[in-house]
Amino acid sequence: MNDLEDLKDAMHTTPDFEPRPLDLDTVMAQGGRLRRRRQFAVGATSGVAVLALLVGGAQVARLGGGSGDGGGTPASAPFAAGAPSQAPSTAPSAPPSVEPADPRDAEPLGEVIETGLRTSAGEHVLWFTPVTSQEIPDTTFGLMMGRRTADGELVPEVIINETEGSDRAPGFHSPQGPMNVNGVDVPAFGYYAGAEATKITVRAGNRVVEAGTAVWSEDPAILAFWFDPDKVTPDTRLSKLTAYDKNGDVLPGAGAGFGVG
């Protein structure tokens, strides 16, 4: 018998074991956990989570209604318990699961920050928003980059949040590089934790560019920052992100990197 005949014989041979049945409940549960992990995926170098909220973004995870990466759960609440069985169970009950809330549905925490950067689709604005996830218990808020349309509607675009340790630990948190979402250049942005910070700069290619900044109305120790997309473009090499105090002294965290998508 030649090799080809050996192969045909092997393909038609019944295995000596019974294939294990597929546990659909387990597969669905694991899939749900994976979706939640992707929703707050950790960047390899920057330790950030980035979510694009507009469908069609080329390099970013989506948060569409019912899409795989977005979850789309409108509120953070335990799942409803099933109907009780006739006979009491002796097995311990599992703690209720809590789905992460969709930050798009939450009211801004504090005042909306105007950047003065205008596009044909509206002005780029920033606002802090609640973040709730059992997997990152030390993170309670994220920073949203979006647009305010002519009629005053807030349109979310990209959210960033801390995924390692406290979201108020001193230093930079979640700096996001510039990107293009649906044909619109979204500015590089992030936030710095530390009441001393008054100025943020980055080296963009061979130039040092100063960021626009605004103190969070709910916490004066949190400084949001953003860069003009005409000066810091998606193809610009960024380095030496630095925070300074009012005396011009460099604060902790200098050199933090940017995540993109």
- The DSSP result for 4-27, as a single string, is HHHHHHHHTPPPSSPPPPP-HHHH
Q: Tokens 């006739």 belong to which residue?
A: 86
- 76 in a structural domain: no
- 20 in a structural domain: no
**Could you give the number of structural domains in the chain?**
1
Q: Tokens 């038609």 belong to which residue?
A: 12
Mean pLDDT, residues 11-34: 47
Regarding pTM above 0.85, the answer is no
DSSP labels, 76-102: --BPPPPPPPSSPP-SPPPPPPBPPP-
- 79 in a structural domain: no
So what's the pLDDT on residue 206? 93
- 29 in a structural domain: yes
Say if residue 15's pLDDT is above 70. Answer: no
Task: Please give the DSSP secondary-structure letter assigned to residue 110.
Answer: S
Instruction: Please state, for a pLDDT cut of 70, what percent of the chain lies above it.
Output: 60
- 157 in a structural domain: yes
Lowest mean pLDDT of 6-15, 51-60, 171-180, name the range: 51-60
Say if residue 21's pLDDT is above 70. Answer: no
Q: Classify residue 31 as left (phi > 0), alpha (psi -120 to 50) or beta.
A: alpha
- 150 in a structural domain: yes
Say if residue 63's pLDDT is above 50. Answer: no
In this prediction, residue 260 has a pLDDT band, given cuts at 50, 70 and 90, of confident
- 196 in a structural domain: yes
The parent domain of residue 184 ranges over 25-70+99-244
Burial of 202 (0-12, 13-18, 19+ CB in 10 A): buried
The 10s digit of each residue's pLDDT in 129-173 is 999 888 999 999 999 999 999 999 999 999 999 999 999 999 999
Mean pLDDT, residues 233-256: 93
- 165 in a structural domain: yes
Is residue 100 a contact partner of residue 73, using CB atoms and an 8 Å limit?
yes
So what's the pLDDT on residue 248? 96
Contacts of 153 (CB under 8 A, 6+ apart): none
So what's the pLDDT on residue 254? 87
Mean pLDDT, residues 62-84: 30
So what's the pLDDT on residue 13? 54
**Burial profile 25-36: b = 16 or more Cβ within 10 angstroms, e = fewer:** eeeeeeeeeebb
Say if residue 18's pLDDT is above 70. Answer: no
